[in-house]
Amino acid sequence: MSQIKTPQNGRARREIQKRAPKLVENGKKTLILHGTKTSSVLKAVLADIYHLKKNDSVKYSRKNDSIRPFESGGETSLEFFSLKTDCSLFVFGSHSKKRRNNLVIGRTYDHHIYDLVEVGVENFKSMESFSYDRKLAPQTGSKPFFAFIGEGFESVEELKHLKEVLLDLFRGEVVSNLSIVGLDRVYVCTVVSSNRVFFTHCALRLKKSGTIVPRMELVEVGPSMDLLVRRHRLPDESLRKAAMKAAPELTKKKEKNVSGDSIQGKIGKVYIPDQQVGEKALPNKAKGVKRERREAKMKGEAKKRKQDS
């Protein structure tokens, strides 16, 4: 029987409370690792990704010989590092003769591998290779736009999966409201072929347009690269259901007979049973019936008097 260790000081207790399950989870952190061999191109790619996600990422610079995400048993060290750093996303870079400039992007659920996408990096341009006005450089931690161009993101399974992973990797913290002034960057992903995507990072320049909404111009600030999809692994259906399950406290209870309208607001329906008036029995001694009988009796007596006279 395994022994359960309890925290011995306040610092350890606070750290455990931070990692405990919550109704509203914290933002996802990214773990960046190197494989046994990495090329200079791959080192620059990992450095730029770390720069884009500097506030919510952890980067390891040592080589990791035992990490092979797609092989059984090769994900043990990766899951350990995920638990140690409390990261639910990871980017693993490796370089070999068979798979050059290889990048594995994956997600974890409960610090176990959830899904994986393997891409090859080609035609890479680092952030330092672009020349532009430094005043336009996006601020660290700002929320980005995403532009996915091409029908392949809706029809090709590999590209649909890549789209989900890229959104999870670069979207940052989930917020309910945004200011237009704070939107200063956009990630553009364009389908080139069924397994190739052009990825680039651009800054937004806001200009006057004569209306409330400003005119936007894109200035490429890097990094820029071609992503060649090699392998991908989708999660099991049971694991997907467990990951997508929401807490009962967060699900909004449906109100019966109530609907919403953008103009009229809250609209309610009241149901009234049919009023069957014709089937209701009238009382026998109604005042109106008595009066009619009395008047008829008086008219009949008056006719008899006329006939007698």
Reported as a single tens digit per residue, the pLDDT across 247-288 is 777 777 778 888 888 787 888 888 888 877 767 666 655 555
C-alpha 160/C-alpha 8 separation (Å) is 46
Instruction: Give the CA distances from residue 65 to residues 94, 105, 112, 156, in Å, rounded to whole numbers and listed in that order.
Output: 10, 18, 19, 33
What pLDDT, on a 0 to 100 scale, did the predictor assign at position 158? 94
What pLDDT, on a 0 to 100 scale, did the predictor assign at position 46? 95
Question: Average pLDDT of the chain?
Answer: 86
Angle at 93 between CA 28 and CA 84, to 5 degrees: 45
C-alpha 86/C-alpha 110 separation (Å) is 10
Whether 136 has a pLDDT exceeding 60, the answer reads: yes
What is the amino acid identity at position 109?
Y
Contact of 45 with 82, CB cutoff 8 Å: no
Q: Which residue, 183, 168, 182, 186, is CA-closest to 222? A: 186
Reported as a single tens digit per residue, the pLDDT across 177-231 is 877 777 889 999 999 999 999 999 999 888 888 888 788 889 999 899 999 999 9
Contact of 145 with 187, CB cutoff 8 Å: yes
Reported as a single tens digit per residue, the pLDDT across 32-63 is 999 999 999 999 999 999 999 988 899 998 99
Whether 29 has a pLDDT exceeding 80, the answer reads: yes
